Structure 1
């Protein structure tokens, strides 16, 4: 195998092992499993509640756009004409809204609250920040300058004046 193929495969492996790709794959699998639960709730609970005004299956709600729409008496199916199946659209919209609400209230909202608590805890735990390297070097420089230049002192009565000693001859 040439080094170019190895680098391409290594790059592909690195891409797959990134956290984003793994998290996305997990989200897709969980979402697919979750879809079955939501569909069952919509078909078993929501559709009958909405359908209490008529058919319990929302897929039966439809409108005909042409005057030629007729129901076959033997099969009960509609034949001829152009139909708008607005019941199935309503069912899909309800499924979407329920899915979005469950994801938000059971996953997103608790995760955001947890992240806020973690951020607040991190700020408390951090305390005062250590001085940076530049700040430390500035303090050292200032201390060295202060040692080099003698500070002015005030003469006391017992010591006399500084720098003016009388010599006895």
Structure 2
């Protein structure tokens, strides 16, 4: 029974759920990328390099139908798929980081903004006159006073 409770606690954690969602979305995204490569990029590359279909590129290592075949065309397609997926993930992470940085800067600027400056009370007439008096006394005593 304790094992079941422990499993429930493990599976209901946020990071496990996030990982599960990521795996599901990643699997769906892989299908999209495979279609993009197979149906759009391969034909364009084929036109550029003279109609070669990468998936059929291979080198027969031994004679006969059952002989070893080095299918390097499939490897080329796997590399192209990887580069496209890596590029898409890079763009997604860059976009998310840009959004997070913008939100962080906004929050930081709101925290760092000084509170509204409170207007200092205007000096009274008596305070101004007292300041003038003190300045005149200091001037009358000369530079030796300090």
- Asked if these proteins are the same fold (TM beyond 0.5), I'd say yes
- Deviation track 1:94-149 (CA, whole Å, cap 9, x = no partner) reads 011111111211x2111111111122122222238xxxxxxxxxxxxxxxxxxxxx
Relative distance call for 1:80 and 1:8 in structure 2 (3 A) is: closer
RMSD over equivalenced CA pairs, Å: 2.0
2:85 paired residue number? 99
5+ residue gaps, structure 2, are: 114-146
TM-score (norm 1): 0.59
Deviation of 1:57 after TM superposition, in Å, equals 3.1
Task: Name the structure where helix makes up a greater proportion of residues.
Answer: 2
Relative distance call for 1:23 and 1:109 in structure 2 (3 A) is: same
- How many residues are aligned here? 112
Deviation of 1:8 after TM superposition, in Å, equals 3.0
Q: Which has the larger radius of gyration?
A: 1
1:16-165 pair list within 5 angstroms: 16-52=11-47, 53-66=49-62, 68=63, 79=65, 81-105=67-91, 107-127=92-112
Tell me how far apart the structure 1 counterparts of residues 46 and 75 of structure 2 sit (CA, whole Å). 14
5+ residue gaps, structure 1, are: 70-78, 129-169
TM-score (norm 2): 0.67
